[in-house]
Amino acid sequence: MRLWKAIVISLLVAACSSEKGSGPATVEVDGVVFHRMSVERLPDLNHKRGAHFMVCLNGEPTVFGGHTDGFVMEQTAEYYKDGRWVEIPMLYPHDFGFAVKLPDGKVMLGGGAAENFGIGQSWGVEIYDQETHSFNPAGILDRKRTNATAMAFGDGRVVVSGNWHADDNIEDYLPGRIFSPVKPVTVQRNLPYIFQSDSSQAIIFSSMGVLGDTLGGTVDRLTGEPFEVPLMEEWTLNCCTGITSFNNFSIGDYTYLIHGKRKADGQDAIIKVAGEHFSPLDMEQELPVLGIDGESISWGHKIRVNRKGRTALLMGFGNKNHYYFAQINYDATLDGGKASLELFYAEDQAEPFMGDESWDIMPDGRIILAGGISFEENTVLISNNFKTNSIVYVFNTQPVESGSSPLWWFISGFIVVVGGIVLAYRLLVRKPEEDEASDVSESAKKTRLELQEEISRLIEEKELFRKKDIRISDIASELATNRTYISLIVNSSLGTSFSDLINSYRIEYAKKLMTEHPEMSHTEVAEESGFSSRTSFLRTFKAKTGQSPTEWKQSLRQDSQS
C-alpha cells in the first residue's frame, strides 16, 4: 500500500512539474513573431487591489496601498517571503498617490485620494523601510495631491509635481527637512514625468493636464526657464504610472525611454529622452497593433528598464485574454544603431485583469504581476475601478522551447513517474542493507563527484558569483547539463541552496577585498562582489559571519596586532 501511495505522489509531481500555459512556442502574425512565455501562479495577495504600487526590493516583491473591490481604499502593504504574502499596516492608503524609491533603498509614498471612489486629494507622506518592514511618517506635502509623481536625486532630494482636479506646482523634500515649494508650473499637469537631465537639473513634462485635457510641448525645468518640445505636438506621451526612482526609465546617464502614441494614427512607439532632447527611438520594427488570434493589443503606460540585461520591457493587454510584453533590446542605440524588438505572449490563467502599475522585473529577469483592475472581456480595454484582483503571476520571457509540446511533457512525465516508482521501491520496499550493497554504481558516484567538482571549479575560476544576476541555469548551460540536475547536486551533495552557495563565495571575495583594499567603501565592495545592493551585502555578511563588515575589519586589525 505504501508503494502505491508513493507512485500516486510521483504521478502528481510529474503533472505539477509541467509548464503552465498552452499553445505553440511561437506564433507569427502578419510577419511578426510572438514567443510564448511560461507562466507561474504564486499565492494570491491577502487583499484584492487596484491602482496600487508594486516593486521588488532586494528581491522581495512588495505591494503598497491602492483600493479594493467597491473602489474602497486599502491601507495596507504586503511583501512576499517564504511562499506567502505578509501584510503590514500603512499610515495612509495612497490610492492614486505617488511612490518613489530612494537612493538608500527605502520607498517614499505620498498623497493620493482623500476618500473612497478616488475623490479628493491628501497630503500625508511616509517612508517604508524594507529591512524592518515598517512605515514611518515623513511630514506632509506642500499641497494636497492626487496623481502626482516624484523623482529622487542621488543625494536623497525628492522632487514632486502633478495633481488631479487641483492646482499643481513643483516642490521638493530634503532628508530630515519638510516639503517646500520650489516654483509654480508653466502648465498644470497630471502624472508628469520628472527626469534628471544633468547633475543638478530636472525636467517635468506630461501630455495630460489636471482636468484630463491634452497639453502641448511645454517642459518645465526645476531651475531656469521652460522650453518647448515640437515632438510633443505630434506624439502623446503616456502618463507616468507606478513606482519611480532616479533610474527607473534610464538606459544611461540622463537618458530615458518612455511610451508614446502618434496623434495622427495611434501608432505606438518608444520615445527616447536624452537630457533635454526628445526623439522616437530608432527601431528595426514598430510595436504591433495585432496579436494572437488577430486581437488588438493595448500597450500599457509603464516601461521597466533592466540595465543589467540592456533591455526595456513594455506590457500590453489583448482584448481576447492574452498578456504581452515587448522587450526592447536598446544596447545598439547607444552606439548609433537600431534597437531590436522581441515579442512575448501568455494566456491568462484566470479572470482577465490589467495591472499597469502593479508589475516589476525580478532580480533573475522574470516578471511579477500582482493584482490589478478588471476589464471587460472581448472589448477594448475598459477600466473598472470597482472590481479588483488578488491574482499573482510570474512570467518568464525566456522563450518556451519548441520541444515543449504535449508529447514532450508526456515523455518527461513518464520519465519522472518511472523514476518515482524506482525511488519509491528503493525507499519503501528494499531494506537499508540491500540499498547499501547495491546502491548507485561506482562510476555513477564518480560522475556526480566530478560534476560537483566542476561546479565549484567553474564558479571559482570564472568568478561567476560576481555576476549579480547569476542563475542556476547559467551553470547548467556552461556544463552542458540541465538545471534540475545541477540543483540536485548543490542541494544534496553540497548541502546548501544555490543562492546560499553563491553568497558564500561573494562573502569570501568581499573579505579578500576588504583585507587587500581597506580604503574601499561598503558600496564598492558590494558592487565588486556581486551583491545587488549595499543593504543586501550588509545583511548577508552579518548572517554568514555574525559580524558587520566594520566589526569584522576591526577584529582583523586586532588579531594582526596581537
pTM above 0.85, yes or no: no
The secondary structure element, H or E, covering residue 500 is helix 498-516
- Please indicate whether residue 111 or residue 28 has the higher confidence score (pLDDT): 111
Beta bridge partners of 38: 396
Give the closest residue to 460 by CA, choosing from 412, 409, 521, 509: 509
Query: DSSP readout, 365-425?
Result: S-EEEEEEEE--TTSS---EEEEEEEEEEEEE-SPPPTT-SHHHHHHHHHHHHHHHHHHHH
Check whether 411 has a pLDDT greater than 60: no
Phi, psi of 142 (to 5 degrees): -65, -30
Check whether 388 has a pLDDT greater than 80: yes
How many percent of the chain have pLDDT more than 90? 48
Span of 33-47, 72-86, 243-257, 483-497 with lowest mean pLDDT = 483-497
Q: What distance lies between CA 246 and its chain's CA centroid?
A: 15
Domains and CATH numbers, the chain: 1-19+406-439 (no CATH), 20-396 (2.120.10.80), 451-562 (1.10.10.60)
Q: Which three cell numbers stand for residue 383?
A: 477600466
Q: Which three cell numbers stand for residue 38?
A: 511560461
Check whether 425 has a pLDDT greater than 70: no
Confidence of residue 448 (pLDDT cuts 50, 70, 90): low
Check whether 435 has a pLDDT greater than 70: no
Q: CA–CA separation, 368 vs 395, rounded Å?
A: 6
Q: What is the pLDDT of residue 22?
A: 52
Query: DSSP readout, 437-490?
Result: HT-S-HHHHHHHHHHHHHHHHHHHHTTGGGSTT--HHHHHHHTTS-HHHHHHII
Check whether 409 has a pLDDT greater than 60: no
The secondary structure element, H or E, covering residue 3 is helix 2-17
Q: What is the pLDDT of residue 269?
A: 93
- 198 contacts 173 by C-beta, under 8 angstroms: no
Q: What is the pLDDT of residue 379?
A: 42
Q: What is the pLDDT of residue 449?
A: 74
**pLDDT per residue as tens digits for the range 278-319:** 999 999 999 999 998 888 888 877 889 988 788 999 998 887
Sign of CA dihedral 53, 56, 60, 61: positive
Phi, psi of 32 (to 5 degrees): -100, 130
**pLDDT per residue as tens digits for the range 350-378:** 555 565 568 898 888 899 999 988 765 44
Beta bridge partners of 109: 99, 126
Q: CA–CA separation, 545 vs 557, rounded Å?
A: 16
Q: What is the pLDDT of residue 438?
A: 40
**pLDDT per residue as tens digits for the range 149-186:** 999 998 999 999 999 999 999 999 998 889 999 999 99
Q: What is the pLDDT of residue 312?
A: 92
Q: How many CB atoms lie within 10 A of CB 443?
A: 7
Amino acid at 513: L
Q: What is the pLDDT of residue 96?
A: 94
Q: What is the dihedral of CA 89, 374, 270, 53, to 10 degrees?
A: 0
**pLDDT per residue as tens digits for the range 185-230:** 999 999 999 999 999 999 999 999 999 999 999 999 999 999 999 9
Q: Three-state SS across 411-447?
A: HHHHHHHHHHHHHHHHHHCCCHHHHHHCCCCHHHHHH
Q: What is the pLDDT of residue 12?
A: 39
**pLDDT per residue as tens digits for the range 88-103:** 999 999 999 999 999 9
Span of 91-100, 256-265, 320-329 with lowest mean pLDDT = 320-329
